[in-house]
Amino acid sequence: MKYYIIFGPPGAGKGTHAVAIREKYNLCHLSTGELLRAEIAAGTELGLHAKALIDNGNLVPDSVVEKMIAKKFDEVKGVEGFLLDGFPRTLGQAEDLDKLLGERGESVTAVVSLMIPDSMVHERIRHRAAIEGRADDASDEIIENRIKTYHSQTEPLIDFYSKQGKYHEVDATGSTIEENRARVLALMEKIEA
């Protein structure tokens, strides 16, 4: 099985490009953000606990997302691998993912990182807010908090996966989705070759 991670700051286009990668390579796209929003929509206990953290742009505890991911690894069949989107987001999650995969005789295949500068994060999220109406896209203050969280908690993963020789970066600042998608798919082809 392949285990790809699509990585990058909020608004970089992870969810958008994940769809194209999923289809081309027959992968299961697992977005922890989407899984959490589904729990909130369904009114589960987990969703109730997670909502305030998410709506304020803070991370939910590692154990919460790790359990959701492990469950999906057990349940999902008929794919050639997984495309993890928004997970791992902390060093602890990355280490636990290595352990979880190691127990299955598997490992992370590669990290595809979409890079955009902070100034573009605001612009992209403002655009998305108008379309999707997510509570955590609604204010500049919350977006700023998510950017801060990304730099302090998630960015260290670049070094973690670089040391494993698994980190690959794409310049995702192209002006159209199509242009950025072509860059992402070109990188995927190189990795798969």
DSSP string for residues in 116-172: --HHHHHHHHHHHHHHH--GGGS-HHHHHHHHHHIIIIITHHHHHHHHTT-EEEEE-
Q: Does 161 bind ligand AMP (CB under 6 A)?
A: no
Q: Does 9 bind ligand AMP (CB under 6 A)?
A: no
Q: How far is the CB of 164 from ligand AMP (least distance, A)?
A: 19
Q: How far is the CB of 105 from ligand AMP (least distance, A)?
A: 24
> From residue 122 to residue 151, what is the string marking binding to ligand AMP with x (rule CB under 6 A)?
--------------x---------x-----
Nearer to ligand AMP, 150 or 167 (CB): 150
Of the candidate residues 54, 111, 112, 172, the single one contacting ligand AMP (CB under 6 A): 54
Strand partners, 84: 5, 30
| Segment lying near ligand AMP (by CB under 6 A), choices 18-26, 38-46, 85-93, 175-183 | 85-93
Q: Does 109 bind ligand AMP (CB under 6 A)?
A: no
Quick one: which of 137, 158, 138 has its CA closest to 89?
158
Q: Distance between CA atoms of 177 and 173, rounded to whole angstroms? A: 9
Chain Cα centroid distance, residue 185? 17
DSSP string for residues in 19-85: HHHHHHHTEEEEEHHHHHHHHHHHT-HHHHHHHHHHHTTPPPPHHHHHHHHHHHHHH--S-SEEEEE
Q: How far is the CB of 58 from ligand AMP (least distance, A)?
A: 6
Of the candidate residues 18, 21, 57, 96, the single one contacting ligand AMP (CB under 6 A): 57
Q: Does 70 bind ligand AMP (CB under 6 A)?
A: no
Chain Cα centroid distance, residue 160? 16
Site residues (CB under 6 A) for ligand AMP?
A: 10, 32-33, 36, 53-54, 57-60, 65, 86-87, 89, 93, 136, 146
